[in-house]
Structure 1
């Protein structure tokens, strides 16, 4: 009898402690954080228990989608690049209701959204390790990013950046141009064959082919002679990305429930992890190639601590998570940007002609090399304008790991910080009255000449957390555009439906289908 009472008391005590913990995490802490910001004049919609503002956000997005669908039917054949007010309707509403700095909740995640440029500059230029990546990236998005360079903070991030970034410096990227050219030439041959078999013009899902091409490029760059294995891994990773894009973030405990989606996520994550570790095992038994994978392996040897600070990550996890991050940053984003670029060139044939003429002048019929890429001013302008109108990522994300003062606002510890990239990159006050139009000419004198406040252009992020692979991405995009536009002409397929949506990245909801023929 006494044992039963003790057991029952222990169970009740555990339930009470769990309840207190959940109350603290889900109610007390969020309320305190919001209260501190409210005292500084920052407001936002009232959150509900557990879901925060998720239900309200869904309602706003649904209403906007319905109204924009009606408008689209009235303007058949018209393609507008002013898509952020539809894709980010909830942010537009909150900005109008509460001002350029406001807060809202995604489940248990408290977010301050910033569209005021002075504060945006402070966020992007901050070098303090007290400002890091949001913890939910390594939790809710853990199967995708883990604790790799894209999702980590503090000493772990500093160590990873020290290992990976030098391999992506401009001088290193120059040596990778040939592999980019080789991969793209394989696609050229495939398209030539397909066009010939289809009578001189082919209807091609450009976004799908760009994903395959970018996977081939990053596989060769990262995995060297093991790139065929790399492609296998990336194929699985693409499926994982698709499944995870359906899952909302911020709902407490959701990622632990054995739902159909979660079971698929767990299966794919396990398969990918095992495949990466098998490639690593094969590599350790063969000669060492100086590619990105080898640098990650060498970095893993010293992942016990960084300048005396324990990193609390195993060697295997360090390797697996950073391979995933390189795939995510170096494959998905490049593929999407290349696909948007071809869509824009199909819509604006005069720019397609200008790109083709420049490539023929610079390359004289030869495959491009690093020096030729540097001379491609028009190609660069087209890529920059594509990244402005259709940046791969929707947000710059940060989290206050301690209380931190930015400008005249004290951001409480645990608060998420969000800068909406597309909204700033299409702001007429910053870019002029043609902010919603495709005009690569605006970049004729670089980013400084394109925008009143150059820091509003951030397709690769900004400051110390800017994308380590931006030189790689720009070189890859220049190779792809220069080779394919010099060989083929692009026009819009009647099947194309313009609908940019925010998943994990900003993607064409219905794909990008173009008519392609040889020049």
Structure 2
């Protein structure tokens, strides 16, 4: 809301007339009009703040409340944020950290997101709450999640306040954009991750895993060939980063090492402030953290552009008959598409590369880390995977054909992704009024679905919902639970993760290769403490005791 120029002009004109007509009283007049100007500015600002922060959110809350949707009572300017912070602070006294010799509780939602769990118990699987000027709708009812799956319009997009905070990391790429611009990017990227393309990447994935296998063998040899303790998450990040570099950008991990390192730092910096609370920020002053993020953002973009220019040079020098990788397709689209434009083409390329670099390796590496943690707890499943691998790969070659026959490792990965999905939420904003079942979601309301809560619902998964039991997936996802649409480790609807096939195949390759060479158990130093840093990852990493497999 802006102060009308006419009002300010009248104040200034009045001051000028008094200065001319009544010079003796000019000082008094200036003071008087200055006071009135100050009062006017305060009133206008107060009106803006109350409308933008409180009244707008209240109107949306009333619309939801009229439909029978309840929720915690908000404070005037901060909504339910003070209560969220209070509940979060009190939950810290209840630690889920435990040693590997203790029982590990897989249900971490009550510690990471205690306010959501507390409100769910009070108000049920659908309720409303607010954070500053944002009104939210929590949806964890299976049928409504199914409705969200089937919503194919542009009416549900990524929440604007969250994507604004993630802009340094993701730019305006496919993970952050909405509407037709998002659809345009999806059209370019999606075909590169269809299963027929992913099958052709298996050889490169196997090559990328070899340095990890050799490193672990060397570590064992250094310990007399018996057993060694290994911290696995960084090694798995290196493998995943190398895979995305080779398959999508035609370069080795060495070239992209700085990019991945700085993206990781940027992710950690953004994660220090909660993206879930959504308090309004007006950006008058740049904080130290914001300055740090801007510096990292510039460095990442500069490094990516160097890779892009190298790729452009390679494209010009190489034969046109060579199969194009994803980076080359993005380059061509940005140059040839009139909708992008020459001035925006550089940012279009950089933003999408940032999205693929980040999403293509961080989530997959974290999923692989959780896989090794759970397999270390359950050596019987290591044995089953190893036995199946020996039967299928009798010649010792792991390729796309043999990989497609490996049922056991698929079941294990699906169960790991049920208990520890890297993405904790599906978040959407109603960009226009949207109907979900019986609920009319007003424009501007943000919708949240807590994935691990759905994945642990006993009514959907049975009494053993909190236990590691890959056998439940023996007949596929459709028969693993009562409501298959409630299994959403890769998100849901039109914005289902494009890299689903890519991630699943990569996980199968990495886990199969590791288990074919090694046996492992959790190290005594391991502390189970899941942490939310944009994705759910092991808070203190994962350390395992590794030895050579007798059949390796």
Match of 2:327 among 269, 280, 293: 293
What residue in structure 1 maps to residue 304 of structure 2?
Answer: 276
Residue 228 of structure 2 is aligned to residue 194 of structure 1: no
**Per-residue deviation, residues 301-345 of structure 1 (Å, max 9, x unmatched):** 35553xxxx899922222122111112221111001000001111
**Gaps spanning 5+ residues in structure 2: where?**
1-10, 17-32, 317-322
Matches within 5 A, 1:49-88: 49-68=76-95, 77-88=102-113
Q: 2: distance between equivalents of 1:162 and 1:12?
A: 54
What residue in structure 1 maps to residue 380 of structure 2?
Answer: 350
Matches within 5 A, 1:142-157: 142-157=167-182
- How many residue pairs were aligned? 513
Once the two structures are overlaid, the 10-residue window that deviates more, 47-56 or 311-320, is 311-320
Match of 1:482 among 512, 522, 525: 512
Residue aligned with 1:397, SS: strand
What residue in structure 1 maps to residue 6 of structure 2?
Answer: none
What residue in structure 1 maps to residue 250 of structure 2?
Answer: 224
Rate the CA distance shift 1:82–1:2 in 2: closer, same or farther, 3 A. closer
What residue in structure 2 maps to residue 180 of structure 1?
Answer: 205
**Per-residue deviation, residues 337-367 of structure 1 (Å, max 9, x unmatched):** 0000011110001011001111121112524
Could you say what the CA RMSD is over the residues aligned between the two structures, in angstroms?
2.5
User: Could you tell me whether the CA contact under 8 Å between 1:255 and 1:262 is conserved in 2?
Assistant: no
Residue aligned with 2:447, SS: strand
User: Could you tell me whether the CA contact under 8 Å between 2:521 and 2:545 is conserved in 1?
Assistant: yes
Q: 2: distance between equivalents of 1:262 and 1:361?
A: 54
What residue in structure 1 maps to residue 145 of structure 2?
Answer: 120
Residue aligned with 2:314, SS: coil
Residue 132 of structure 2 is aligned to residue 98 of structure 1: no
Match of 1:428 among 458, 471, 475: 458
What residue in structure 2 maps to residue 446 of structure 1?
Answer: 476
- Residue 2 of structure 1: CA displacement? 5.4
What residue in structure 2 maps to residue 48 of structure 1?
Answer: 75
User: Could you tell me whether the CA contact under 8 Å between 2:232 and 2:542 is conserved in 1?
Assistant: yes
User: Could you tell me whether the CA contact under 8 Å between 1:304 and 1:313 is conserved in 2?
Assistant: no
What residue in structure 2 maps to residue 415 of structure 1?
Answer: 445
User: Could you tell me whether the CA contact under 8 Å between 1:44 and 1:98 is conserved in 2?
Assistant: yes
Residue 55 of structure 2 is aligned to residue 28 of structure 1: yes
Q: 1: distance between equivalents of 2:343 and 2:469?
A: 46
Residue aligned with 2:527, SS: coil
User: Could you tell me whether the CA contact under 8 Å between 1:168 and 1:469 is conserved in 2?
Assistant: yes
Q: TM-score, normalised by structure 1?
A: 0.93
Q: TM-score, normalised by structure 2?
A: 0.88
**Per-residue deviation, residues 414-446 of structure 1 (Å, max 9, x unmatched):** 100111100000111100001000000000000
Based on CA coordinates, which of the two structures has the bigger radius of gyration?
A: 2
Match of 1:497 among 527, 531, 540: 527
Residue aligned with 1:315, SS: helix
Rate the CA distance shift 1:228–1:19 in 2: closer, same or farther, 3 A. farther
**Gaps spanning 5+ residues in structure 1: where?**
none
What residue in structure 2 maps to residue 240 of structure 1?
Answer: 266
Rate the CA distance shift 1:41–1:295 in 2: closer, same or farther, 3 A. same
**Per-residue deviation, residues 31-83 of structure 1 (Å, max 9, x unmatched):** 111111011111111223443322211221222231345x969x961212122
**Per-residue deviation, residues 124-157 of structure 1 (Å, max 9, x unmatched):** 2100111111112320111122221111111011
User: Could you tell me whether the CA contact under 8 Å between 1:180 and 1:479 is conserved in 2?
Assistant: yes
Q: 2: distance between equivalents of 1:236 and 1:49?
A: 39
User: Could you tell me whether the CA contact under 8 Å between 1:181 and 1:367 is conserved in 2?
Assistant: no
- Residue 168 of structure 1: CA displacement? 0.6
Rate the CA distance shift 1:144–1:267 in 2: closer, same or farther, 3 A. same
**Per-residue deviation, residues 230-255 of structure 1 (Å, max 9, x unmatched):** 22211110111111111123222276
What residue in structure 1 maps to residue 352 of structure 2?
Answer: 322
Rate the CA distance shift 1:418–1:137 in 2: closer, same or farther, 3 A. same
